[in-house]
Structure 1
Amino acid sequence: MLKSRAAAVKRRLGDNEANAVARMLRVSPQKLNLVAAMIRGMKVSRALSDLEFSRKRIAKEVRKTLASAIANAENNHDLDIDRLVVSEAYVGKSVVMKRFHCRGRQRIGRVTKPFSHLTVVVREVRDERKTV
């Protein structure tokens, strides 16, 4: 039996990782990726504060998703939230609703309303410095 493409692409999380997924966000993937790229590789405390003061409309939803990933790391995987970094933040394309807008002289313009998916993966980094 064939598995779906999404199931084949999905990778397993490591022992020091946790994730959260937000689906059907009403924003284009291109606009959402601007905010996702902003937090990639950051410590979670810094990423949360940057999202709090971002002027992008979708930053509020990205912040909720990041907070959910942090809660999953703490409650489900027993990770230390002070050592978490955003290891991955990627965007997927979802459905595009098509609507019509009435124009002048009995013409119709097409309006597309895109939706996106957001996946945030946080990883606990261990301090590799040796104490002498």
Structure 2
Amino acid sequence: MQGNKSRDTSPELAVRRLLHAAGLRYRVDYRPEPSLRRTADIVFTKQRVAVFIDGCYWHACPEHRTVARANATYWSEKLARNVARDIDTSTRLKDAGWTVLRFWEHEDPESVAATVVTAVRGQDPTEGNLR
């Protein structure tokens, strides 16, 4: 598991390139709330927007979910904990006044970036992007 990247993944880099090209500046792998020991992939601190680009395997994507062959019980419990933590993180950040945007790694980077740009520039893009 040490070989799995927690930041700078290909989908994340693709979205970050598009956001930067759109003139937006952001923090990477940053804690939106210092009291919450969890980091978001991309954070816009002034606008209070936290963006998560979740890996299909690690966050149990309904479209690309796989079942482990070895240690199936451990992995199913692990992924269930990850999903529960994602929900808890989103809830706690929203309660603290943050806009939380979650995307899957397989989503089109251009549409992800367009939604993030809309959120950062003041419109409400959250309809349909929350899990």
TM-score range, shorter chain: under 0.3
TM-score when scaled to structure 2?
0.25
Structure with max Cα Rg: 1
TM-score when scaled to structure 1?
0.25
RCO higher in 1 or 2 (8 Å CA, sep ≥ 6)? 1
